[in-house]
Amino acid sequence: MATLCRLREVPRHLLVCEKSNFGHDKSRHRHIVETHYYNYRVSFLIPECGILSKELKDLVMAFGPYYSVKDLPLHELITHEFINTFVKKGSCSALTYNANIDEDNAAALLPNGKLILSLDKDTYEETGLQGRPSRYSGRKIMKFSAEESTLMSYFSSYRIQEHRPKIAVSSVADLQCPVLRSSELGGQPDTACSALELFDWLGAVFSHAELNNEPDSFLSSYCCPQPSTVVARASLCTVTGFILPEKICLLLEQLCRYFDEPKLAPWVTLAVQGFADSPVSWRENEHGFRRGGEHLYNFVIFNNRDYWLHMAVGADDDCPP
């Protein structure tokens, strides 16, 4: 009985699936990408592809650096000089680093210039903040994404360090892939897999889990949903760092153009994972960690420019947009 009660306390997770076409006037693909501000990991998978194209490689390499500034007082982000140099130009995003969102004080500077604070109760009461961030002078490591020369010069009196995104490219041999039909979001028995089945499968692939359901495997008993097909090679690329929505928009556009010339692959995927301890998920929607901290989205891009979109959040988050 106690176990049953604990199971009922497990936080719910939300997964929204929808389909559209990149050519539709009401397609939301750009809005979804542009309003998911704090991106930690971007992965794309291309079946029937042994080597990434030069265009995709160049685009990934051009994701650019980001910066960490140690012991930065939060009031530095609301000075007139900072606002005029960065905020009014829409050229800067920042996020507290190594802060547990449900336990510590955290802050996020949105691209639109709004400063989002997540304070524990004691800090809120002690500072009497009540909407006045200038009174909170806590020092944190902040991660920034902005123009290199300007940012390095502006914060030269602090310990500022440049970081480069980590890029991992691999080729997966004999990958068993679900059979999909762009018009069948919910799948069809013996004909096509559903968006939910694909979402689970992608999680296994991106985690490099075995998909053969071996009885002696103690790590995973998962296997590819049916119907499926085996592709000789699939290219998997993962970029980890502080990745701006503008860069992801360019990558999504390039993946759409992948099918401008005939390809063996019927679809490709682009998955984006947000920082678990970000104060927001999409736009200004409050985000918490609790037991998962997930907020992510995934595009399945078909060769006819149709797409599926997965959006997922967990714990106490509101429904994705």
**What digits encode the pLDDT tens for the residues 6-50?**
545 555 568 899 999 999 999 999 999 999 999 999 999 999 999
C-alpha–C-alpha distance, residues 115 and 243, integer Å: 19
- Tell whether 205 and 156 lie within a shared domain: no
- Tell whether 222 and 74 lie within a shared domain: no
Contact assessment for residue 173 and residue 233, using Cβ atoms and an 8 Å cutoff: yes
**Residue 145 vs residue 243, higher pLDDT:** 243
Average pLDDT over residues 93-98: 88
Of the candidates 192, 201, 269, the one whose C-alpha atom is nearest the C-alpha of residue 236 is 269
- Tell whether 286 and 224 lie within a shared domain: yes
Question: In the predicted model, what is the mean pLDDT of the chain?
Answer: 84
Does 127 score more than 60 pLDDT? no
- Tell whether 11 and 60 lie within a shared domain: yes
* Residue 128 pLDDT level (bands cut at 50, 70, 90): very low
Residue 317: predicted pLDDT: 73
- Tell whether 13 and 113 lie within a shared domain: no
Last residue of a domain, one of 108, 136, 163: 163
Which residues on adjacent β-strands are paired with residue 274?
39
- Tell whether 212 and 282 lie within a shared domain: yes
- Tell whether 122 and 200 lie within a shared domain: no
- Tell whether 90 and 183 lie within a shared domain: no
Residue 271: predicted pLDDT: 98
Half-sphere exposure of 15 (CA within 13 A, CB side): 11
* Residue 145 pLDDT level (bands cut at 50, 70, 90): confident
What letters, b where the CB count within 10 A reaches 16 and e where it falls short, cover 96-130?
Answer: bbebebbebbbbbbbbeeeebbbbeeeeeeebeee
| Segments forming the whole domain that contains residue 73 | 66-163
Asked if the structure places residue 318 within a domain, the reply is no
Residue 126: predicted pLDDT: 45
Residue 284: predicted pLDDT: 78
Using CB atoms within 10 A of its CB, is residue 8 exposed (0-12), middle (13-18) or buried (19+)? exposed
Q: What is the 3-state secondary structure (H, E, C) of 139-173?
A: EEEEEEECCHHHHHHHCCCCEEEEECCEEEEEEEE
Lowest-confidence range among 55-64, 209-218, 305-314?
A: 209-218
How many domains, the chain? 2
Last residue of a domain, one of 163, 180, 198: 163
Does 80 score more than 50 pLDDT? yes
Cis peptide before 245 (omega within 30 of 0): no
Q: Percentage of the chain with pLDDT > 70? A: 81
Lowest-confidence range among 56-65, 82-91, 97-106, 219-228?
A: 97-106
pLDDT digits (tens, 9 = 90+) for 199-226: 999 999 998 887 766 666 556 678 899 9
Cα pseudo-dihedral 44, 47, 52, 56, rounded to 10: -40
Residue 125: predicted pLDDT: 44
Of the candidates 272, 226, 270, the one whose C-alpha atom is nearest the C-alpha of residue 245 is 272
Three-class SS state of 67:
strand
